[in-house]
């Protein structure tokens, strides 16, 4: 009995020891865990590296990161003195103007709406950059007030090749808008096809594809669109007939557009003397005059357009008459060769440098749409002579343009095939 009691007592003591050891171990573990260092909140090596390798931002060849950057437009009535005064630069005006006099006249040539940038530190301008246009700019560096520097700069143009297409519902301009294509591209296309397509007669369902360049500049590390660049190739389907245009440079600095057979698109005569117009009255041997009410021949084609619209000569030639009469108003007559002459009536005014004997090239501006003389509204009456007789220009088989030079034909055909491949990508 005693032995049994003693054994129970010993077992009880052993159990207490085990519990005690367990408690000691647990507390020690907790203390050790408590003393473990917490993760640091400081940036990791990777994060620090990323911060250190962040690319600096440049514009106009100047690192911008350490400056406060202010970009604004010149407002109407604003002058250089008031601009510089806003950035504590006015007291340097005389010295800046002295340094810049042979580079740019800030007092006379500043243009409203043009952009300028000021790089400032401690509320004081350190650089003033004026943009003459989208590419060219003037930098005024006043970091060292005892040695002000003024110099010219030019942005680098970044070019991206584009392929765009559209379907005509009402007009080329609207088709471009629907596809978010620049209206400048629409204007360029109308000029490329000025000899072959009358864009006031294009039809619903006509379509086009164009391979061209968009131009950009780097602005604070971001690309900024500045306009359409070169148009390389076009396919225009008009009345189910394809009209191609491929830009090709036969000689250095002389490029033009050719069709798929190597014939230039530039014909001897433009389709019309205006870029944008509406034919309000065609050539007719008998029509009722809108002013006099008399029935008589109208030996010209009337193109209605807003007053002031530029009028172009439709072909190369020499100014034969630049004058004013009671019925013609201000008008110009151009002699192109021994066969053809053209005349442009009812001008608002004749361009100042257009005088008798002056040689003009196809597309040169010779005057502006008006309603002088016997006219009811702003338009140009375009008259066309062949061998001394007035004829309808739309009924003439006018001289074609010149083909590509024979020595360049093989090179052109190879180049044309490459451009055709670009046009056939993503076929409509």
Residue 5: per-residue pLDDT: 45
The number of angstroms, rounded, from the C-alpha of 402 to the middle of its chain's C-alpha atoms is 30
Residues 90 and 84 sit within 8 Å (Cβ to Cβ): yes
212 and 288 belong to one structural domain:
no
313 and 204 belong to one structural domain:
no
Please return the burial class of 37, using the count of CB atoms within 10 Å of its CB with bins 0-12, 13-18 and 19+. Answer: exposed
Q: Dihedral of the CA atoms 390, 392, 397, 399 (nearest 10)?
A: 60
In Å, how far are 104, 205, 206 from 169, measured between CA atoms? Answer: 48, 6, 8
| Last residue of one domain, picked from the residues 200, 227, 258 | 258
Kindly state whether residue 213 falls inside one of the protein's structural domains.
yes
Residue 52: per-residue pLDDT: 56
| Last residue of one domain, picked from the residues 154, 187, 212 | 154
The number of distinct structural domains making up the chain is 3
In Å, how far are 52, 96, 108, 150, 162 from 89, measured between CA atoms? Answer: 34, 10, 18, 14, 44
Residue 227: per-residue pLDDT: 93
Buried b (16+ CB within 10 A) or exposed e, 182-220: beebbbbbbebbbbbbebeebeeebebbbbbbbbbbbbe
214 and 298 belong to one structural domain:
no
Q: Say which CATH number the domain at 167 has.
A: 3.10.450.350
391 and 286 belong to one structural domain:
yes
Kindly state whether residue 1 falls inside one of the protein's structural domains.
no
The pLDDT tens digits along the chain (428 residues) read: 444 444 445 455 555 555 545 544 554 444 444 444 454 454 454 454 455 567 888 899 999 999 999 999 999 999 999 999 999 999 999 999 999 999 999 999 999 999 999 999 999 999 999 999 999 999 999 999 889 999 999 999 999 999 999 999 988 889 999 988 999 999 899 889 988 887 877 889 999 999 999 999 988 778 999 999 999 999 999 999 999 999 999 876 678 999 999 999 988 888 889 886 667 665 555 444 444 455 445 678 888 889 999 999 999 999 999 999 999 999 999 999 999 999 999 999 999 999 999 999 999 999 999 999 988 889 999 999 999 999 988 888 877 777 888 999 999 999 999 999 999 876 54
216 and 309 belong to one structural domain:
no
145 and 248 belong to one structural domain:
no
139 and 228 belong to one structural domain:
no
Which domain range does residue 109 map to?
Answer: 58-154
Instruction: Please state the pTM of the whole predicted model.
Output: 0.66
- Percent composition of the chain: helix, strand, coil (DSSP 3-state, to 5): 20, 40, 40
Measure CA of the first residue to CA of the last residue in the chain; give whole Å. 108
Residue 159: per-residue pLDDT: 96
Kindly state whether residue 14 falls inside one of the protein's structural domains.
no
Kindly state whether residue 263 falls inside one of the protein's structural domains.
no
Kindly state whether residue 136 falls inside one of the protein's structural domains.
yes
391 and 282 belong to one structural domain:
yes
304 and 209 belong to one structural domain:
no
299 and 356 belong to one structural domain:
yes
Kindly state whether residue 101 falls inside one of the protein's structural domains.
yes
Kindly state whether residue 198 falls inside one of the protein's structural domains.
yes
Query: What secondary structure letter does DSSP report for 54?
Result: P
Closest by alpha carbon to 292, among 372, 369, 376, 390?
Answer: 376
Closest by alpha carbon to 311, among 267, 370, 266, 358?
Answer: 370
282 and 251 belong to one structural domain:
no
DSSP labels, 277-342: -EEEE--EEEEE-TTT--EEEE-SEEEE--TT-EEE-SS-EEEEEEEEETTTEEEEEEE-SSSEEE
Kindly state whether residue 42 falls inside one of the protein's structural domains.
no
Q: Say which CATH number the domain at 285 has.
A: 2.70.70.10
| Last residue of one domain, picked from the residues 208, 226, 258 | 258
For residue 100 the two structure tokens come to 């810049």
Residue 114: per-residue pLDDT: 96
- What does the alpha-carbon distance between residue 59 and residue 271 come to, in Å, rounded to a whole number? 45
164 and 149 belong to one structural domain:
no
Residue 3: per-residue pLDDT: 47
């Amino acid at each position: 009995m005693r032995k049994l009691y003693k054994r129970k007592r010993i077992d009880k003591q052993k159990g207490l020891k085990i519990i005690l050891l367990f408690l000691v171990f647990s507390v020690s573990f907790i203390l050790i865990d408590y003393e473990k260092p917490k993760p640091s909140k400081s940036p990791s090596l990777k994060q620090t590296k990323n911060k250190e390798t962040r690319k600096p931002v440049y514009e106009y060849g100047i690192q911008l990161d350490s400056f406060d950057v202010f970009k604004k437009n010149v407002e109407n009535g604003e002058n250089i003195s008031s601009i510089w005064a806003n950035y504590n630069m006015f007291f340097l005006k005389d010295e800046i103007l002295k340094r810049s006099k042979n580079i740019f006249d800030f007092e006379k040539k500043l243009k409203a709406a043009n952009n300028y940038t000021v790089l400032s530190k401690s509320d004081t301008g350190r650089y003033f950059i004026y943009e003459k246009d989208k590419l060219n700019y003037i930098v005024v560096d006043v970091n060292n007030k005892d040695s002000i520097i003024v110099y010219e700069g030019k942005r680098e143009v970044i070019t991206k090749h584009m392929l765009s297409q559209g379907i005509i519902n009402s007009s080329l301009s609207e088709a471009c808008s629907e596809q978010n294509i620049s209206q400048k591209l629409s204007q360029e296309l109308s000029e490329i096809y000025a000899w072959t397509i009358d864009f006031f007669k294009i039809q619903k369902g006509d379509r086009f594809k164009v391979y061209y360049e968009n131009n950009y500049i780097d602005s604070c590390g971001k690309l900024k669109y500045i306009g359409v660049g070169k148009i390389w190739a076009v396919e225009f389907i008009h009345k189910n007939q394809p009209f191609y245009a491929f830009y090709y440079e036969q000689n250095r600095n002389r490029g033009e557009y050719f069709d798929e057979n190597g014939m230039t698109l530039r014909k001897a005569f433009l389709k019309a003397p205006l870029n944008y117009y509406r034919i309000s009255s065609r050539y007719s041997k008998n029509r009722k005059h809108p002013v006099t009410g008399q029935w008589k021949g109208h030996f010209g084609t009337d193109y209605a357009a807003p007053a002031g619209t530029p009028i172009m000569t439709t072909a190369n030639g020499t100014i034969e008459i630049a004058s004013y009469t009671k019925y013609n108003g201000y008008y110009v007559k151009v002699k192109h060769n021994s066969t053809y002459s053209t005349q442009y009536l009812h001008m608002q005014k004749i361009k100042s440098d257009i005088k008798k004997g002056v040689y003009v090239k196809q597309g040169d501006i010779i005057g502006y749409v008006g309603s002088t003389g016997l006219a009811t509204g702003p338009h140009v009456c375009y008259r066309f002579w062949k061998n001394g007789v007035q004829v309808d220009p739309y009924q003439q088989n006018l001289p074609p343009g010149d083909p590509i030079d024979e020595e360049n034909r093989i090179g052109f055909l190879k180049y044309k095939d490459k451009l055709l491949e670009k046009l056939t990508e993503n076929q409509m």
